[in-house]
Chain A
Amino acid sequence: MNKTKRFCAIALAAMMAVTAFSGCGGTDTTSSGSASTTPADGTVSVEGGDNEDPLYGEGANGTISLKVWGPDAAQDLLKEQCAAFIEDMKPYGDIEIEVIPQGEADAANLVTTDASAAADVFGFACDQLDKLVSSGNLLKVATAEKETITAENSESSVKAATYGDDLYAYPETGDNSYVLFYDKRVVSDEDAQTLEATLAACKEQNKQFVMDAGNGFYACLFAFTGGLEVNGLDADGVQQFNDYDEAKVVKSLMAFQDLLGQYSDIFVNGETTKVVDGFLSGSVGAGIDGSWNFASAKDALGDDVGFAELPTIDIDGEATPIVNMFGYKLIGVNSSTQYPSTSVALAMYLTSEECQIQRAEQLNWGPSNKVAAEQDVVTSDAALSAVIAQSEHSVAQVGVSDKFWDPMKVLGNRVVEFDDPFTEESAKEILDQTIANIKG
């Protein structure tokens, strides 16, 4: 009951904001009335002004059949949610949904290869947004839905789904990032606060510390901690950066190299899969790994597993929080779908508060929905609260060029090349080269 109340309040607030800002008098906002007559999830009721049918008449011409893609891990829940959606939409039309397992990483490639064979509604990671938008494969989010989404989801998750001035996707999770994973028998919760103590604790028991410095997604933390930030793309698709302090970034790079270099015997630069694998075999004490491995880390260590936001690192005598890149999982609607309105309604439903809470409960996926993020299931979970804490100091993975990753990878590899220590000049040089090559 409490939930619905809160939802209505937000919905109303959104409505008011909309009418106030756009002054769009034509839209008949009898939201309270329609909210009570439409299904519990509510999201579908808010859209579309005087049109009561959330499917916009698509149900009139026989059965609507949709194809939905989601990752293997989420199959069962996704099927349940789709079934619930079908049930909710019964009054407006018969819907058939085929749920097909398809990983988020590959989804964009498949859609761009052949949109007509792809799913109508599909999940993808936000770094694929540019590609999907520029190839015209995503159906833009209409004003009505855009308002709901903006009101309900965290600002940065909405930003992650935005390209130019338009919203192109529906935020599904707010957790596509990485934090510190550790074995509590090796690294105490207190040690996990600072990188220095974490490494020392690992070394003491001769356990490895794993990080994938040869991957731009992780390696960018070396530079981001020093204050570098991505700042969208310009009209030609060239990556823009914030007005960063070069000296500080250089110091950060040098601090990381210096510290990790002191522990070069236990520092492993390798794929993130080595973290959980090492937990299983007992060779790894701590590592930096992504939220999608929460479950397998819990399976590997049971109660001994610890998660925390990335630790601080001492730069110039100051404990600086490590800043990382923070991504989101989004749901997109294929622009060549036969049933755009039904697909939109489904995408809205799948990203609603209700569904996000279900995912948090069953899959350990952190929500992007503001209300869902405050639920007990999220706040009491060590892993999810670590990600949410991390999001406080992170750079959103928004408007990141395809050319970003490769140079960042080179930079990361350079930082962990301990045999060839940085001088201030050489660190500055590689930073300049990296920036220049990303702008390419």
Chain B
Amino acid sequence: MTFIEYKALSPAQKAQYKIKEFFSQLPSKLGSFFGAIGKFFKNLVLGIVAGFKGFGSRFASGDMATKLSYIVMGFGNFTRGQVGKGLAFLAAEILYIIYMVNFGLVYLSKFNTLGTLETGQQEDPVTGRIVNVQGDNSMLILLYGTMSILITFLFIGIYVANTKSAYSAEQSLKAGKKNPTLKEELKDFLDGKYHVTMLSVPVVLISVFTVLPLAFMILIAFTNYDANHTPPGKLFTWVGLDTFRDVFEASEGASKSYTFVQLTKWTIVWAIFATFSNYIVGIILALMINKKSIKFKTLWRTLFVLTIAVPQFVSLLLMNQMLQDDGVVNLILSYMHLPTVSFFNGTALTARITVIVINMWVGVPYTILQTSGILMNIPEDLYESARIDGATPVVQFFQITLPYMLFVTTPYLIQTFVGNINNFSVIYLLTSGGPSKNPNLYQAGETDLLVTWLFKLTMSSNDYNTAAAVGILVFIVCATLSLITFNMSKSSRNEEEFS
């Protein structure tokens, strides 16, 4: 159904169509999503298998130089005119060995226990001094162990590539061809293999500074790294899924599971309201500013855009100050003889409404900027015909503008939604999660989102494992949502037309 066909439906039919479409597609979307994930892992395994395929047969059928490069990497290439490549392989091998011997092995060998020797202090009976006996540091073992494992994987990849390269160099010489020199191969990196050139640096950076810490964090969820097991004084160790059980298992009083459920509910409510309030108000304002008959467009736009330019933490801290019980806002209210409002210390509801409204102050200018362009692109004849039918601007908005925008910007909306689930700064700087009214919440207040809760868990109560587990759960939800929408979106589908 195109948009024009869709437009022809009556509002009731539209709603029906949307709902039906959503639910009819949901199973297939989810299905194809998990299918895709399954495929991903299948491909991963197949890829690895393919990488090793011929590993043995190459050894068996290769000549002496090829066989030797199974031990001395790059030997095959080196002896067959590819000096640079051979040296590069050799360098990789030497670097890996140096790394492992000097650094990696120490940590890797303790990776399964995360350390056994606890740090302790003893008083020397002769001198009367305290001697600090440094034990194992579980955290460093976990971190550097993970690093060593990733480096080892990388090395295995290079190693297999080395055997392949040695073998193919041998084969092409046999076939009477000349092997490409380093210069020729490098030249190919500017054209045929340009993606390698473009991606290698970012991929390395991301692997080291994003993937590795992420892997470390995920692993922590499977340990007992909490306030009672803080390195370097104490050891922590693997506990399997215990942490996740704590998060899900219901218990009395202020439990992690109760808090998790409550915060999940509020996080979802928050994400919905924060997303749509910004979206709708932003669109309405953008429409008003862009209306043909309205003058001083730049002025209006600038007024709103100014707020983007002030660093967010400043404007939020400022808002926090202004909305205090004795802040400017209440001052103005009392000047106008209106009752004052306890924005952050009052009820949970007041505080929640306050953060949603303030979030509009923060977010609406972005929506104005981002949607202005599309709003201008709405076919004018749609409005024209509506006007002839005598539709008021309000009706026009709900019948034309909003449906059109929703139709075009769904992926953007989902992204914003995911962004709001992880919206740390607004909540943290405005309320720090407060007010604290509910005695059954564990280390959390009424406006805490899951993401601010896990910040508190790491920073104040040192429940690293719980925080990591909650982080993983939030991550799974966000990742699923965005992968589905991205892969369903027009841009993802359309791009295949190019290839």
Contact = CB atoms under 8 A, between A and B. Distances in A.
Interface of A: 47-49, 51, 56, 109, 112, 115, 131, 133-137, 139-144, 208, 214, 236-237, 268-270, 274, 283, 335-336, 340-341, 344, 402-403, 406-407, 409-411, 413-414, 417, 430, 433-434, 436-437, 440
A270 B325 contact: yes
Contacts, number: 118
B123 interface: yes
B345 interface: yes
A440 B425 CA distance: 28
Interface string B127-157: 1111110100000000000000000000000
A236 to B, nearest CB: 8
B262 interface: no
B129 A283 contact: no
Query: Which one of B131, B326, B436, B437 has the highest number of Cβ atoms from chain A below 10 Å of its Cβ?
Result: B436
Nearest to A409: B436
A270 B434 CA distance: 12
A363 to B, nearest CB: 28
A135 B464 CA distance: 14
Contact of B227 (A134, A268, A336, A340): A134
A342 to B, nearest CB: 11
Given A49-B128, A112-B230, A131 B462 contact: yes
A97 B134 CA distance: 25
Nearest to B456: A406
Given A336-B232, A406-B436, 14 more contacts: A133-B233, A134-B233, A135-B231, A139-B121, A140-B130, A236-B228, A268-B325, A335-B119, A336-B134, A340-B132, A341-B129, A402-B462, A440-B254, A440-B442
Given A437-B254, A440-B442, A142 B129 contact: yes
Interface of B: 119, 121, 123, 127-132, 134, 227-228, 230-234, 252-254, 324-326, 345, 434-440, 442-443, 459-462
Contacts of B252: 436
B233 A135 contact: yes
When A and B form their complex, which 7 residue pairs have the shortest distance between CB atoms, in order from nearest? A136-B233, A437-B254, A135-B230, A433-B439, A135-B233, A335-B132, A136-B119
Tell me whether chain B's interface is mostly helix, strand or loop, or mixed.
Answer: loop
Given A269-B345, A270-B325, A335-B121, A433 B132 contact: no
A136 B326 CA distance: 44
A115 B435 CA distance: 34
Contacts of A47: 128
A163 B434 CA distance: 32
Contacts of A340: 129-132
Contacts of B253: 433, 436-437, 440
29 contacts: A51-B127, A51-B128, A112-B230, A115-B232, A131-B227, A131-B462, A134-B230, A135-B232, A144-B128, A214-B435, A268-B326, A270-B325, A270-B326, A340-B129, A340-B132, A402-B461, A406-B442, A406-B443, A407-B439, A410-B438, A410-B439, A411-B439, A413-B345, A413-B437, A414-B437, A433-B254, A433-B439, A436-B254, A440-B254
A142 B130 contact: yes
